[in-house]
């Protein structure tokens, strides 16, 4: 709430306070009121502990300033811290006076138990004083002006302490609470002991915010000094990978940094994260002009800016050399040496050196690419004589592979009768002339490499029944099969069947139909 870290005790008390407020809204019983007494005492203990801790922080600032020679900038910080303490004391005194006033107007303390108010359940007197007499508004002003003062004094963002219901995320969406102002939210229908605990809770909020502000001011003391108090051993090897029988060489040295300095670090002008005084250099190595050994020389500029004594920024720069190794792109395919034109050539492209960091995307010239459902799988559909496939990883080019492109082998056209091919040399009996099927049989090697693209069919052809130099009859087929029974009634031994194929098609891997240029093949079958 204040920007600082709460102790487990503070978190526990805050949670108990919210729970008991909820219980109070349901029913006020003697047991609940006794719990508020306990909560108020616990909160007062937290106030005392935090108050002492904040005072110790100012003492530490005083010691730091003295040890550093009372430099003007440090003295200014100390005065700000002392002013914060003084203002905090004023606010705490104001809150304690308010609690004593509430006890007084509700009847004072119990004669038999001087630490407990006499009328712990009194709601009306406190509500009248805090709401009707506007003392709640005055309390809200004091608390929020204090928060604004802290932000100005320390430079740390400080949230307001006293909120109306509409500004409090706990109550903003509660239809029964969201229209209440600060005083009504905290002191309406509230027994005295709960109101006292509420005010003590505000004291903890004041001190938590003060603690955050003082911590910030403590860091400002000597912030310009570079004190090397973090020392670590460092090793810079010539290479992390060495061959058996060769020497491993490295430089071993001590590196030091300052926990009191927040340096700014940059790589090639871009600010990087700094953790524990060490900048985390991380970027994607880009491809370059590789030499014969497959290495590309690269450099990057690093810059570290720190505030040196006297308030002057000091910048250290260095240029680091490194080498990018050309990644080995492994391509697995049934026909990797060349791709087939207008076919779905499935490739498995892997770069083992990248391991789990491999996140490829592909582009190509002379082809369309379709990425598969697994990492590295890609289908390449060539539309030119040469294809160049470019492989990227997270947008960085890894390399390019060039492929030649083959034309799809033309299928073999074979006339069938039933399940048997027609014997074009010896002919067939005229009496067996019943039906004909023209089959387009894919090249065996092509069908093995790309079975999804090796689906051919004869789409159109014409059959003539010829006798001597003239046709007796003809029939056109709009598919592989045709019924020739009418030819059987007319055919005589010595006649011929002339088959003229006019259209062959291929069904590709995307279930698209493509015309296959075959010319006009003609087959002649002798009828016996």
Domains (range + CATH), the chain = 8-220 (no CATH), 230-325 (no CATH), 330-406 (2.60.40.60), 412-526 (no CATH)
Q: What's the half-sphere exposure (Cβ side, CA atoms, 13 Å) at 205?
A: 21
Q: Cα separation of 525 and 76, whole Å?
A: 113
Angstrom distance (rounded) from CA 522 to CA 500: 5
User: Whole-prediction pTM value?
Assistant: 0.44
To 5 degrees, how large is the angle CA 150–CA 153–CA 156? 65
Q: How far apart are CA 37 and CA 344, in angstroms?
A: 80
Of 292, 518, 252, 488, residue with least CA distance to 409? 518
Could you report how far apart the first and last alpha carbons of the chain are, in Å? 105
pLDDT, position 520: 92
> Three-state SS for 36?
helix
Pull the structure tokens for residue 357.
């960091």
In the chain, helix, strand, coil percent, each to 5? 35, 30, 35
Q: What is the pLDDT along the chain (528 residues), one digit of tens a residue?
A: 444 455 565 565 556 556 555 555 544 556 667 777 888 888 888 899 999 999 999 999 999 899 888 998 889 999 999 999 999 999 999 999 999 999 999 999 988 888 888 888 888 998 999 999 999 999 999 999 999 999 999 888 888 999 998 998 888 888 888 899 999 988 988 898 888 989 999 999 999 999 999 999 988 886 445 566 677 777 676 665 555 545 767 778 777 666 666 788 898 888 888 887 778 888 777 767 778 656 778 888 888 887 654 455 678 888 887 777 766 677 776 555 689 999 999 999 988 877 888 889 999 999 999 998 888 899 999 999 999 999 998 888 888 889 999 999 999 999 998 888 988 888 888 877 788 999 999 999 899 989 999 999 999 999 999 988 899 999 999 999 999 888 888 888 889 899 999 999 999 999 999 999 999 999 999 988
């Amino acid at each position: 709430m204040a920007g600082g870290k709460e102790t487990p005790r503070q978190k526990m008390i805050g949670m108990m306070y919210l729970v008991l407020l909820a219980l109070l809204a349901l029913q006020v019983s003697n047991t609940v009121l006794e719990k508020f007494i306990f909560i108020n005492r616990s909160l007062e203990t937290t106030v005392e502990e935090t108050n002492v801790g904040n005072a110790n922080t100012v003492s530490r600032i005083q010691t730091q300033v003295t040890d550093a020679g009372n430099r003007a900038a440090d003295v200014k910080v100390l005065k700000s811290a002392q002013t914060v303490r003084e203002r905090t004391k004023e606010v705490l005194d104001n809150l304690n006076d308010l609690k004593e006033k509430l006890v007084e107007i509700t009847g004072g303390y119990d004669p038999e138990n001087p630490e407990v108010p006499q009328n712990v359940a009194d709601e009306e007197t406190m509500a009248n004083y805090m709401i009707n007499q506007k003392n709640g508004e005055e309390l809200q002003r004091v608390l929020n002006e204090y928060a604004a003062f802290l932000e100005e004094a320390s430079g740390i963002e400080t949230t307001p302490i006293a909120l109306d219901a509409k500004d409090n995320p706990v109550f903003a969406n509660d239809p029964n609470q969201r229209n209440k102002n600060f005083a009504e939210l905290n002191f309406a229908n509230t027994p005295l002991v709960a109101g006292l605990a509420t005010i003590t809770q505000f004291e903890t909020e004041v001190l938590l915010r003060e603690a955050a502000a003082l911590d910030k001011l403590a860091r400002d003391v000597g912030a310009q000094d570079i004190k090397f108090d973090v020392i670590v051993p460092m090793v810079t090897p010539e290479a992390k990978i060495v061959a058996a029988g060769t020497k491993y060489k490295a430089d071993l040295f001590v590196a030091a940094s300052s926990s009191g300095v927040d340096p700014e670090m940059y790589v090639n002008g871009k600010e990087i994260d700094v953790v524990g005084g060490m900048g985390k250099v991380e970027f994607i190595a880009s491809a370059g002009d590789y030499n014969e050994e497959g290495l590309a020389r690269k450099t990057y500029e690093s810059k570290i800016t720190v505030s040196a004594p006297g308030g002057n920024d000091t910048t250290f720069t260095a240029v680091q050399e490194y080498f990018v190794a050309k990644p080995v792109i492994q391509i697995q395919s049934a026909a990797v040496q060349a791709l087939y034109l207008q076919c779905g050539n499935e490739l498995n492209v892997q770069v083992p050196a990248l391991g789990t960091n491999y996140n490829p995307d592909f582009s190509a010239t002379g082809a369309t690419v379709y990425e598969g459902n697994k990492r590295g799988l890609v289908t390449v559909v060539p539309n030119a004589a040469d294809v160049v496939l470019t492989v990227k990883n997270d947008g960085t080019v890894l390399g390019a592979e060039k492929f030649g492109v083959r034309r799809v082998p033309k299928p073999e056209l074979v006339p069938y009768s039933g399940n048997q091919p027609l014997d074009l040399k010896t002919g067939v009996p005229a009496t067996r002339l019943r039906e004909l099927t023209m089959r387009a049989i894919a090249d065996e090697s092509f069908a093995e490499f790309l079975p999804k693209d090796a689906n051919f069919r004869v789409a159109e052809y014409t059959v003539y029944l010829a006798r001597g130099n003239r046709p007796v009859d003809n029939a056109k087929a709009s598919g592989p099969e045709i019924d020739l029974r009418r030819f059987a009634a007319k055919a005589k031994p010595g006649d011929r069947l002339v088959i003229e194929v006019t259209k062959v098609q291929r069904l590709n891997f995307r279930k698209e139909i493509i015309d296959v240029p075959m010319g006009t093949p003609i087959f002649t079958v002798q009828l016996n």
